Amino acid sequence: MKKPRIGVFKFTSCDGCQLTILNMEEEFLELLAFFDIGYFREAADKPLRGQFDIALVEGSITTDLQRKEIIDIRERSRYLITIGACATSGGLQALRNWASIIDFKKNVYPSPAFIETFSTSAPISEYVYPNYELWGCPIDKPSLIEVLTSYLINKKPGLPRYSLCIECKGRGIPCLLISKAAPCLGPITMAGCGVICPSLDRPCYGCFGPREDANIESLGRQFEKIGINKKEFAQLLDKMNTYAFRKAKTEQGRAAQK
């Protein structure tokens, strides 16, 4: 059987999620036994040619050139998988979606006119259809391996969509929200990171984005009881998955009106 051909692509991002591929280290060499890496600019000097069985896409879309490129990548690829918070929900850069981009450019560059960029940082799904979305800032290595192996044996990846609390309870970690009155986003955040923050005595800060049917309003009320006001709560949500959390909150509000 011919080895499936993988392409790795980057848009507006920090390189961290594609680094996860190289961070497989010894497993990376095994990966090469099952897949053909057709394009991976960060690690290989190889021109972009032909079709891909799997496109792994990092980063959000913030320029017109990127918009054209993602359409081209979609056309070349059977399966398009977004990797990480930027590609899946616009990333930290999506904070610009709620601000004036003109002010930002002036703040950063002496001659803002040279800088070509959209006023928004949007997830890949705003432009083309992704077959699968991997959440996380950064993505979790075992989850990436799960997705790639699932492709080989033609099954659906078995990744959680439930809240971080489920995993936290499973690990027997005392609840930071209840025992320490710490503003933990665990109840509304998707599991998948391996509960790293609560296990280091740090409240979850939402790297993996909102879980399905996240009750954001309710957590906000709970936070008020521990002295976190509405503005502070909003800032806690406005991080790497600001776009997805705001969207989930709006949808929740809309559902409540019905």
List residues binding other proteins (CB under 8 A).
10-17, 19-20, 22-23, 25-26, 28-29, 32, 37, 40-46, 62-63, 65-66, 91-93, 95-96, 99, 103-105, 107-111, 114-115, 117, 137-138, 193-194, 196-197, 199-202, 205, 207, 235, 239-240
Nearest to 73 by CA among 95, 93, 91, 56: 56
Tokens in use for 116?
A: 């070509």
Minimal distance, residue 132 CB to other proteins, in Å: 20
Sheet arrangement for strand 52-58:
36-40, 5-10, 52-58, 77-83, 132-134
Contact 70, 122 (CB under 8 A): no
Minimal distance, residue 204 CB to other proteins, in Å: 9
By beta-carbon proximity to other proteins, the closer residue of 71 and 196 is: 196
Q: CA–CA separation, 26 vs 30, rounded Å?
A: 7
By beta-carbon proximity to other proteins, the closer residue of 126 and 251 is: 126
Minimal distance, residue 40 CB to other proteins, in Å: 8
By beta-carbon proximity to other proteins, the closer residue of 13 and 189 is: 13
By beta-carbon proximity to other proteins, the closer residue of 146 and 251 is: 146
Minimal distance, residue 197 CB to other proteins, in Å: 5
By beta-carbon proximity to other proteins, the closer residue of 131 and 235 is: 235
Minimal distance, residue 159 CB to other proteins, in Å: 17
The vertex-169 CA angle with 20 and 221, nearest 5°, equals 95
Minimal distance, residue 155 CB to other proteins, in Å: 27
Contacts of 223 (CB under 8 A, 6+ apart): 183, 232, 233, 236
Q: CA–CA separation, 243 vs 177, rounded Å?
A: 24
**Whose structure tokens read 């507006």?**
12
Q: CA–CA separation, 123 vs 206, rounded Å?
A: 17
Q: CA–CA separation, 189 vs 163, rounded Å?
A: 5
By beta-carbon proximity to other proteins, the closer residue of 25 and 75 is: 25
